[in-house]
Amino acid sequence: MKQQLRNLVDRKVLLERMQTSEECRTTISFYQYAHILNPAFFRDYLFSHWDEMDVMGRTYVAYEGINAQISVPTRRFEDFKSHLYSISFLSGIRLNYSVDDGKSFFKLTIKVREKIVADGLNDEAFDVCDTGVHLNATSFNELTTKDDTILIDMRNHYESEVGHFKGAITPDADTFREEIQLVENMLQGQKDRNIVMYCTGGIRCEKASSWLKHKGFPNVHQLDGGIIEYTRQVREKGLENRFIGKNFVFDERLAERISDEVIAQCHQCGASCDDHTNCSNVSCNLLFIQCPSCAEKYEGTCGERCHEIIGMSEVDQRKLRKGKKNSARIFNKGRLRLRARDENDA
């Protein structure tokens, strides 16, 4: 009998199973640019082994490499690591350990993609291996306090809104593809400055730093391992923590708290709040920031219209959803979409 290489269990069942489980799990992320001859075969190979070890999470495989954010049963972690390191181009790869090993993923998804990060760049036009200087937490803190340094957050707006490094430029971008071009334009005329970039785990800066070097920026640096590894080093070595707020993560937790400061506001009432949520109207599913008071008032929805919709019968809600695809809106910037909707309704 052929092994089933995808999940067939209902999403709600898996989510409830994760929420009620008492099993200790370790959440990690890693990436590696490498030449994979047959991504589909490699995808199936990973799925068959990881599924057996009850690994959960999201992984992308492409001709250019692998990008993984996963949760592993702690009791099986050494088995998992041995298997991972048995793969030649992943042998000894650094694993970024989550700051908070909360309930992060509830199923295993491994997909073949054109790229492991959607950047919109033609990789054949430049040397993707010629990256910026990698900085550890100590070097990062030292360089980012200098007057001639420009610190840039290479994450999307909804990520930096709830947390970022002190003094960082946080571009108003919805996607990494959009941000690369925006940052390049923004830095014109400042090519002699020290440029330092950071992201969640480091993968976006690998491509962005090599692109800027290709475009003639000689002093490009990047935070090695991103915010996740920085936080680990800061706590381990007792260094100054220059990150304020939360680190946004793409799993069920949505964020890990790095410092006590709350730097964001509720998108509905403006109260101090940095808790992201998805609109409870499944036909909307907008990601936005909502305080407890507004969550109670709107029953977890992003506004009056969605609040009205969840009060309808399930039959009527299905009629409204028919033929509509809203999954692409999940991680759009909540504040701007709420503002645009309010302006249209006015």
Domains of the chain: 11-112 (3.30.70.100), 125-237 (3.40.250.10), 276-345 (no CATH)
At 275 the pLDDT is 96
Give the whole-angstrom CA distance, residue 198 versus residue 229: 11
At 124 the pLDDT is 87
147: phi > 0 → left, psi -120 to 50 → alpha, else beta; which?
A: alpha
At 336 the pLDDT is 53
Quick one: pLDDT band at residue 324, thresholds 50, 70, 90? Answer: low
Quick one: pLDDT band at residue 1, thresholds 50, 70, 90? Answer: very low
Strand pairing category for 276-278 and 287-289 = antiparallel
At 10 the pLDDT is 67
Query: Is 60 exceeded by the pLDDT of residue 208?
Result: yes
Tokens 């709830």, residue? Answer: 162
At 41 the pLDDT is 97
Report the predicted TM-score, pTM, of the whole model to 2 decimal places: 0.86
Specify the DSSP class assigned to residue 4.
Answer: P
At 5 the pLDDT is 72
Backbone angles phi, psi at 331, to 5 degrees: -110, 25
Query: Is 70 exceeded by the pLDDT of residue 156?
Result: yes
Query: Is 80 exceeded by the pLDDT of residue 198?
Result: yes
- Tell me the average pLDDT of the chain: 90
At 241 the pLDDT is 98
At 337 the pLDDT is 52
Query: Is 90 exceeded by the pLDDT of residue 6?
Result: no
Residues known to be catalytic: 199
Judge contact between 256 and 246, C-beta under 8 A.
Answer: yes
Provide CB contacts within 8 A for 142, sequence distance 6+: none
- Full DSSP string of 164-175: EETT-B----SS
Judge contact between 84 and 57, C-beta under 8 A.
Answer: no
Give the whole-angstrom CA distance, residue 210 versus residue 63: 18
Residue 217: how many CB atoms within 10 A of its CB? 19
Quick one: pLDDT band at residue 2, thresholds 50, 70, 90? Answer: very low
